[in-house]
Structure 1
Amino acid sequence: MPVITAPQAFNEEDLYVDLAPMLGHRLFLKCEGFNFAGSIKLKAATEMVESAERSGTLTRDSILVESSSGNLGVALSMIAASKGYRFVCVTDSRCNLTTRLMMEALGSRVHVVSDEHAAGGLLGARLAHVRALCAADARYVWLSQYTNADNWRAHYFRTAPAIARWFPRLDVLFVGVGTTGTLMGCARWFRSWHRPVRIVAVDSVGSAIFGDPPGRRMIPGLGMSTRPPLLDEAYVDEAVRVDEVDTVRTCRNLARRGFLFGGSTGTVVSGAAGWLARHGTPGLTAVAIAPDLGERYLDTVYQTNWVQALYGEDALDPGRQADGDAYPTTSPPTGITRVARVTPGGR
């Protein structure tokens, strides 16, 4: 029986869901939402805070500040409350209301930007506000999840080895991308493993991570409007993109089977299911990482009016395909398989 005194001391590392009955292909979903922060971001938050403490950057007089679309903000709020730090989360209007209320309940201050930055959109506006706070008061300490190597180190030391313990014959790993901390930590670790593992990055349509122009994205968690500084494409074998309407359908299909997952997880599962439908072979061992659970999406992904208003009535049809799908084409010199959008019937 585990007994803890700090909330960040607990994280269920070894829970998987076998999605074969739902997908028709064997896929093991690593559930990262079973901790007091409710998401995989607890690992990165813990690693970044403890590293800043060890280096002396973070002191008792410091005020933590970070830009987050939600999950990292909750994790840092929890850690700050546990350790006695003040924390300011800079987010934007896409952040779920439930997530904002959770951060405030934990004692954090939440600043919401609503006007896009001329060059960097909402993310650019968030980062501009963080920089302004740091310039105005030296007590602010910005962990910078977008550039902080401790972000990916958390998954190099914890997430990847945990997967390897249970799946010594792993063939392919599906990882959702945002800051790319999870992706880069796992990809680096498996690069030196005893067998080759295909690393497939799962991104959202409208994200600019792999060179596409930024577009509308309403579901927080995955995707970015710029290229993440942590990304090293040499470690990634393929990238697939998932339309948000497919994210919604996948989340709601999982919920109909009793599994309430978040939007990030819906994107990863949708991308993995599509890849396995095209490339899966008997005996293939595939794992996908589920970053979060679904309670924070009850007023968005699981709210019928919200879905209808943004994606139309067809988004509520669990058996309907999206207007386009993501298909890998030829590999560029970077080693990433680029993805082309095709219309139905183009398979």
Structure 2
Amino acid sequence: MTVISVPTDFNAEDLYVDLRPIVGHALFLKCEGFNFAGSIKLKAATEMVAAAEWNGILKPGSVLVESSSGNLGVALSILAASKGYGFLCVTDARCNLSARRFMEAMGGQVHIIAEPAAEGGLLGARIAHVRALCAADDRYVWLNQYTNGDNWKAHYRTTAPAIARRFPRLDVLFVGAGTTGTLMGCARYFRELHRQVRVVAVDSVGSVTFGGEPGRRMIPGLGTSVRPALLDESYVDDLVFVEEADTVRACHRLARRGFLFGGSTGTVVSGAVKWLARHEGQDLTAVAIAPDLGERYLDTIYQTNWLHALYGEDVLDPDELAADLRSV
């Protein structure tokens, strides 16, 4: 029996889905959504808050403020509620309604930015709004997930060692790139461990993280419109870009097998399958990190009208969905 007193005491660290029957490759999906925040972001939030408390930045009466597309905001709202801090999330219209309602249920506030900045898009505008809030009221504490080293340290200390323990002969690790905290923490760990693990970053088409052209991105989570300060490309061995339509198809194909995952996970799985298909014939053991679950995407990725309006009526071709992920 597991008994906890605070929400951060529970996280299913060692849960993997064997995707070989679905994708035809030795690919294991590390599920990071089975905690009270529903995503991997609870790890980074916990590490950043603990460091801020240790350094005396967070104290009674503080109000946490953060720019987030959803999942980190949810995680911070849980921590703020459990520790007695205020919380304000600055986001934009791409943030799922369920995530916004979750943060409000925890007692947090949500500010939605509608107009993109001339440089940096909606993310740039969100960050500018956070800076203005902090300048106007010294109660606000911005942990800044985009530059905070405790973001990647959370995964250096937890996520990567957990994978190494379960897969001592791991060949390749697929990690989605958002703030790049998970990516950098895992990549640094395996590089310093002197193991021949190839770290492959998975990014969304339209993201500028790795120098790509900015473009429309409607699915929150992975990708950025401002290059993350945490990113050090020297730790990344390979890179895969995924179209949002492929993210949608991957999510629906997994759902047809009973696994309801979120958009970030669909992107990572799609990218992993594409990469493994290009390396067919090699006897590789591969792990992909699934950052989130799918419940918060029921009104978007899993809603037909939303999909058809953005990606066309053929985005979910019935014949394709009847096939497995080998066709991704």
The interval holding the TM-score normalised by the smaller chain is over 0.9
Gap change, CA 1:16 and 1:116, over 3 Å in 2: same
**CA contact 1:179–1:230 (8 Å) conserved in 2:** yes
Q: Which fold has the larger relative contact order, with Cα–Cα distance below 8 Å and residues 6 or more apart in sequence?
A: 2
Equivalent residue for 1:284? 284
Give me the whole-angstrom Cα distance separating, in 1, the residues matched to 2:268 and 2:36.
Answer: 22
Counterpart residue number, 1:301: 301
Deviation at 1:281, TM superposition (A): 3.4
- Percent of matched pairs sharing the same residue: 75
1:256 maps to 2:256 = yes
Deviation at 1:52, TM superposition (A): 0.1
Tell me by how many angstroms 1:194 deviates.
4.5
**Structure 2 regions of 5+ residues with no counterpart?**
322-328
Q: Which 10-residue stretch deviates more, 84-93 or 192-201?
A: 192-201
Deviation of 1:320 after TM superposition, in Å, equals 4.8
Alpha carbons 1:314, 1:320 under 8 Å: kept: no
Once residues 266 and 231 of structure 1 are traced to their aligned partners in structure 2, the CA distance between those partners, rounded to angstroms, is: 22
Question: How far did residue 160 of structure 1 move?
Answer: 0.1
2:15 is matched with which residue?
Answer: 15
User: 1:127 — aligned with what?
Assistant: 127
CA contact (8 A) 2:214 2:225 kept: yes
CA–CA distance in structure 2, aligned partners of residues 275 and 45 of structure 1: 30
Cα 1:222–1:319 change in 2 (3 A) is: farther
TM-score by length of 2: 0.96
- CA deviation map 1:259-306 (0-9, x unaligned): 000000000000000111111435311000000000000000000000
Q: Residues 32 and 289 of structure 1 are in contact (CA less than 8 Å); yes or no, is this contact kept in structure 2?
A: yes
Alignment of 1:101-180 (within 5 A): 101-180=101-180
Alignment partners' CA distance in 2, 1:104 and 1:89: 10
In the alignment, which residue of structure 2 is the partner of 1:97?
97
| Letter matched to residue 152 of structure 1 | W
What residue in structure 2 maps to residue 312 of structure 1?
A: 312
> Between Structure 1 and Structure 2, how many residues are aligned?
321
Superposed CA RMSD in Å reads 1.1
Separation in 2, partners of 1:180, 1:281: 30
1:158-208 deviation line (CA, Å, top 9, x unaligned): 000000000000000000001000000000000022421000000000000
SS at 1:288's partner residue?
A: strand
Partner amino acid, structure 2, of 1:162: A
The answer as to whether partners of 2:164 and 2:170 remain within 8 angstroms in 1 is: yes
Give the deviation of 1:221 after TM superposition. Answer: 0.2
Quick one: distance in 2 between partners of 1:281 and 1:135? 57
Residues 204 and 318 of structure 1: is their aligned pair in 2 closer, same or farther, counting only changes over 3 Å?
farther
Letter in 2 for 1:270: S
Which residue of the partner structure matches residue 339 of structure 1?
none
Question: Structure 1-normalised TM-score?
Answer: 0.91
Which whole-Å deviations, capped at 9, do the CAs of 1:60-104 have from their partners, x for residues lacking one?
121100000000000000010000100000000100111100110
2: distance between equivalents of 1:280 and 1:229?
34
| AA of the residue aligned to 1:81 | A
Contact kept in structure 1, 2:171 and 2:196, CA below 8 Å: yes
Q: Mind listing any 5+ residue stretches in structure 1 that lack a counterpart?
A: 322-347
**Counterpart of 2:269 in structure 1: which amino acid?**
V
CA distance in 1, matches of 2:57, 2:194: 38
Q: Could you tell me which amino acid in structure 1 is paired with residue 78 of structure 2?
A: M
For the 8 Å contact 1:146–1:179, the answer to whether it is kept is yes
- Counterpart in the other structure of 1:60: 60
Within 1, Cα distance between the matches of 2:63 and 2:111? 14
Q: Distance in 2 between matches of 1:40 and 1:19?
A: 20
Q: Does structure 1 conserve the Cα–Cα contact (< 8 Å) formed by 2:124 and 2:226? A: no
Give the aligned residue type for 2:143.
L
Q: Give the letter for the 1:180 counterpart.
A: T
Q: In structure 1, what is the equivalent of residue 78 of structure 2?
A: 78
2:27 corresponds in structure 1 to 27
3-state secondary structure, aligned to 2:111: strand
Mapping 1:141-220, distance limit 5 Å: 141-220=141-220
Within the alignment, does 1:235 sit opposite 2:250 as a pair?
no
Going from structure 1 to structure 2, the CA distance change for 1:263 and 1:318 (only over 3 Å counts) comes to farther
Give the Cα separation in 1 of the matches to 2:281 and 2:12: 30
Cα distance, 1:2 vs. partner? 1.7
| Amino acid paired to 2:252 | R
CA distance in 2, matches of 1:3, 1:283: 42
> Any conservation in 1 of the 2:152–2:184 contact (CA below 8 Å)?
yes
Change (3 A) 1:237 1:198: same
What is the CA–CA distance in structure 2 between the aligned matches of 1:308 and 1:219, rounded to whole Å? 14
Deviations 1:196-234 (A, max 9, x none): 100000000000001012100000000001211000000
Cα separation, 1, equivalents of 2:240 and 2:257: 25
Distance in 1 (alpha carbons) for counterparts of 2:10 and 2:55: 24
Cα distance between partner residues in 1 of 2:242 and 2:78: 31
Letter aligned with residue 165 of structure 1 = R
Counterpart contact for 1:63–1:88, Cα < 8 Å: yes
Tell me how far 1:26 sits from its aligned partner. Answer: 1.2
